A and B are shown apart, each in its own frame.
Chain A
């Protein structure tokens, strides 16, 4: 599934303050975020970020507030200019673009969905959805038609003439999604797009997004601070802390092998039985018994199948062919919350 690299971020630094270039030198000399703030009164926004984002996948970038994730996503379409580094989209350096190229990139290649929706309050739903198209120079009638298709897709048919303030939060974000999709951009930047919504509506919107993604295959860069959300929609997760990238990888990988205490604190409370898949913990060389389970099954479902014959390992299959085995003991070990001392050294419960 790896495919071509769509967006590539190399050695990206961002420092906020009066004299970022001098502060950058201190950072290169090894100063961290708190020290830089204390000694030089500059805020380290991003610290040497390197991420390659393959096309047609959902790349989740997560971290707590202040970790630099929103700053990072704004570098991709240069709403924020970096202090140093390279951002390439389709092999083209975004930072070397002039205003016109930049506008064309924003109009046609990347569109963005915002945490606070950022809809134009004086435009109707239809006009909001057609906003990107109108900026591309598409005539009003055609833009309206094309936007209508997306309004229908996100389930807002009948609300075309409403103003954003008349809609609920979830519906407003559907408009935001329609506006971003209507431009036919390959890359979708989603900045905590669902964080402002109620939990139920959030799950709903995640479903909408996953369903659309199945069909559209866009490159989605999704910012969130919610690990459940990240695990649910991400093909790949990058975790930021204090502006630095601390772990990147497959969601399974992050849950099974957290790189440090910060990450293991993050994954402490997730439902491991639902997140982890059989393929991540199976014994590829083993041979199982009569019970067959698919390699992409969640552990809690596998447990359901195996509970009648707990003594015998089950056969793991992929496309009907056996690829390994899984015994009950391994399964229970994987579901069990990691012991506190291995997680962070601090005993929470």
Chain B
């Protein structure tokens, strides 16, 4: 017994000594990605862009030539079509599609080959760029894995209580943890957690500034809205193809899939929230001589917060909805378990891991809902 106690004691020491390092690495990795890798990449892009801009006359000439040639080709094709078309009622059965040789030319030469070329020449650079993210993801997973379960439970329950301030939700969270633990899904759930946390941090870090940009300029608003629509409606497998080519089957591929799908709500609702701030209040801040940033941080964002929170909440929900698809491209966790359950036609396993995801979603939703409500109560109705 003594030996056992000593062993556990040692484990706790290792835990205590390792946790700060892991946390530090995680924050550092994420920070490195956002504040170093990203600016450096943008800088490199700018460096490439400027000499390219210098070549604009040449590019324009080449573009004109290509356009002229394609226009000529198009006219010729149309002419040929009308000449070779057999003008009969039978020909109206099917809409005339592109002939297969032209389709091949377009798909291969227009899309696949250029992307392959990009992946071949810049693939390593892209991997390098994403490396800090990958490391921070691993560290976060290690951190959660490493925690003794009572500590993990306590942390989660404390967090839920801090956010919701309601015993009912804490009990719900405890129930969810118990459910996950008793079916032996804790490890998988912790992997899902780490994926969720990172993707949400990324969504918020990029989504809120983008939403602010959109609210500040109608032109940006008009330009970004269709992109958001596409991000939300385009089947995720489509953008998973290039992600797979670039990153292979890996957790990072899953992370990117989740971020692309889950970011639009927080962008939209940040934009909407700022645009919905009452005009009189905005006018008052103008009338007292506020600068844009004073107005943004003193008036617009505080008053838009309920909407921003609703956006973050939706983002979390959508991120959780993506776990299975993320699992398809290599993100470990509950999603992978659902996939394997489906592969082996194991209803029980599928139900257990599926319910685990649903419970996590419900706990987060309830606590954030209460958080938003509390904030509004504080601001709008009073104590």
Binding site for B on A (CB under 8 A): 77, 79, 102-108, 110-112, 114, 116-122, 131-132, 135-136, 162-163, 165-166, 179, 183, 189
Contacts and interface: CB of A to CB of B under 8 A. Distances in A.
Nearest to B382: A166
Contacts of B280: 114, 116-118
Interface in B331-383: 379-382
B107 interface: no
Contacts of A132: 288-289
B290 A135 contact: yes
A118 B379 contact: no
Secondary structure at the B interface, as helix, strand, loop or mixed, is helix
A105 B380 CA distance: 32
6 contacts: A106-B287, A112-B287, A120-B284, A120-B298, A121-B281, A132-B289
A222 B380 CA distance: 30
A17 B134 CA distance: 54
A103 B283 CA distance: 13
Interface of B: 278, 280-281, 283-291, 294, 298-299, 302-303, 379-382
A110 B284 CA distance: 12
A103 B291 contact: yes
Given A121-B380, A135-B294, A165-B381, A106 B299 contact: no
Contacts, number: 69
B67 to A, nearest CB: 34
B88 to A, nearest CB: 53
Nearest to B288: A132
Contact of A104 (B284, B285, B289): B289
A141 to B, nearest CB: 18
A181 to B, nearest CB: 12
A189 B289 CA distance: 14
B382 A106 contact: no
Interface core residue of B284, B291, B294 (most chain A CB under 10 Å): B284
A179 B289 CA distance: 13
B379 A163 contact: yes
A220 to B, nearest CB: 15
A173 to B, nearest CB: 13
Given A79-B283, A114-B283, A121 B289 contact: no
A131 B280 CA distance: 15
A106 B285 CA distance: 10
Contact of A162 (B285, B290, B382): B382
Interface core residue of A77, A117, A135, A165 (most chain B CB under 10 Å): A135
Contact of A77 (B281, B285, B287, B382): B287
Contacts of A122: 302-303, 379
B113 to A, nearest CB: 48
Given A106-B289, A121-B303, A135-B294, A114 B379 contact: no
A114 B381 CA distance: 22
B203 to A, nearest CB: 25
A135 B288 contact: yes
Contacts of B379: 121-122, 163
A114 B289 contact: no
Given A162-B382, A165-B382, A135 B289 contact: yes
A103 B302 contact: no
A77 B287 CA distance: 7
A223 B278 CA distance: 22
A105 B382 CA distance: 35
Contacts of A121: 281, 303, 379-380
A15 B100 CA distance: 60
B374 to A, nearest CB: 14
A106 B283 contact: no
A177 to B, nearest CB: 13
A116 B380 CA distance: 16
A112 B290 CA distance: 13
Nearest to B294: A135
A102 B281 CA distance: 19
A132 B285 CA distance: 9
A131 B288 contact: yes
Contacts of A119: 281, 284
A116 B284 CA distance: 10
Contacts of B284: 112, 114, 118-120
A196 to B, nearest CB: 11
Given A120-B281, A121-B281, A121-B379, A106 B286 contact: yes
Given A106-B289, A111-B288, 8 more contacts: A103-B290, A105-B289, A108-B289, A122-B302, A122-B303, A131-B288, A163-B379, A166-B382
Contacts of B283: 79, 114, 118
B289 A120 contact: no
Nearest to B286: A79
A107 B288 CA distance: 5
B352 to A, nearest CB: 44
Contacts of A117: 280
Nearest to B284: A118
Contacts of B298: 120
7 nearest A-B pairs in the assembled complex, by CB-CB distance: A106-B289, A107-B289, A118-B284, A118-B280, A103-B289, A112-B287, A166-B382
A70 to B, nearest CB: 11
A111 B303 contact: no
A135 B281 CA distance: 15
Contacts of B278: 118
A76 to B, nearest CB: 10
